[in-house]
């Protein structure tokens, strides 16, 4: 595992849910209401580890334990994600240190992008709620690529949109499947421990180069060169 303190990225790519914003509790509330409505088993940690970071087109067949048409998936997505948007409205804030990090990236001419499994309406809602819709030069979504996380597609798409080679990118991720996706893309990766314990993220194979509770922890440590 390389020394992250020596790495100087040309672009930084952020996962959205659980990384840019600590919003997984609102997603959990929406999922709890959704599975109760459909009389499905509760979303325990084992199920979260299987699904966090995946696209809805992959999550719903797991929850319902059957193959589904895209029409079914789209209807269920609108139901569940509509709940999330309603529950989270007025309650979202950027993760600690994100805005200072974006400011320092801007000052150094380092591009910032998003690589998310979230659907278009959620991406627009979440970035608007935290007032950062115009702070990213590229947004890559899972519904724009062939394979979802842990495949590298969405991170590779983000790097392509930014015009930066994947191995010159630094990724921030909060979920094990997302960390694997970033690493499979050939990127350096920081694990953000807003959703999972540090030991669990470090156990991922391939794992993150470092873990921090938030972006301020990164800036205070290996990110000091951005000051």
* Matching residue, tokens 């499947």: 177
Based on the residue annotation, tell me whether 174 is a catalytic residue of this protein: no
Q: Which of 3, 15, 65, 199 is catalytic?
A: 15
Q: Report the b/e string of 145-169 with b at 16+ CB within 10 A.
A: beebbbbbbbbbbbbebbebebebb
Phi-psi sector, 136: left (phi>0), alpha (psi -120 to 50), beta: beta
Number of H helices and E strands in the chain, helices first, is 10, 6
Tokens of 17: 């849910």
Taking the C-alpha atoms of residue 45 and residue 196, their distance in angstroms, rounded to an integer, is: 10
Phi-psi sector, 18: left (phi>0), alpha (psi -120 to 50), beta: left
Peptide bond before residue 129 is cis, with ω within 30 degrees of 0: no
First to last CA, the chain: 25
- The catalytic residue positions are 15
């Amino acid at each position: 595992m390389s020394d992250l303190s020596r790495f100087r990225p040309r672009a930084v790519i952020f996962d959205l849910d659980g990384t840019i914003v600590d919003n997984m509790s609102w997603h959990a509330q929406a999922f709890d209401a959704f599975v109760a409505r459909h009389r499905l088993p509760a979303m325990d940690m084992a199920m979260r580890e299987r699904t966090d970071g995946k696209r809805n087109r992959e999550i719903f067949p797991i929850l319902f334990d059957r193959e589904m048409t895209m029409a079914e998936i789209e209807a269920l997505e609108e139901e569940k994600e509509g709940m999330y948007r309603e529950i989270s409205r007025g309650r979202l804030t950027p993760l600690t240190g994100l805005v200072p990090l974006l400011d320092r990236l801007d000052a150094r001419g380092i591009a910032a992008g998003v690589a998310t499994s979230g659907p278009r309406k959620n991406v627009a809602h979440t970035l608007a709620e935290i007032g950062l819709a115009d702070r990213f030069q590229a947004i890559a979504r899972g519904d724009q690529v062939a394979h979802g996380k842990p495949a590298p597609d969405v991170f590779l798409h983000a790097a392509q949109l930014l015009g930066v080679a994947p191995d010159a990118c630094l990724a921030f991720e909060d979920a094990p499947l997302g960390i694997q996706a970033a690493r499979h893309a050939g990127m350096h990766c920081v694990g953000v421990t807003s959703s999972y314990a540090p030991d669990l993220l470090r156990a991922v194979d391939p794992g993150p180069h470092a873990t921090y509770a938030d972006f301020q922890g990164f800036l205070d440590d290996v990110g000091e060169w951005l000051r």
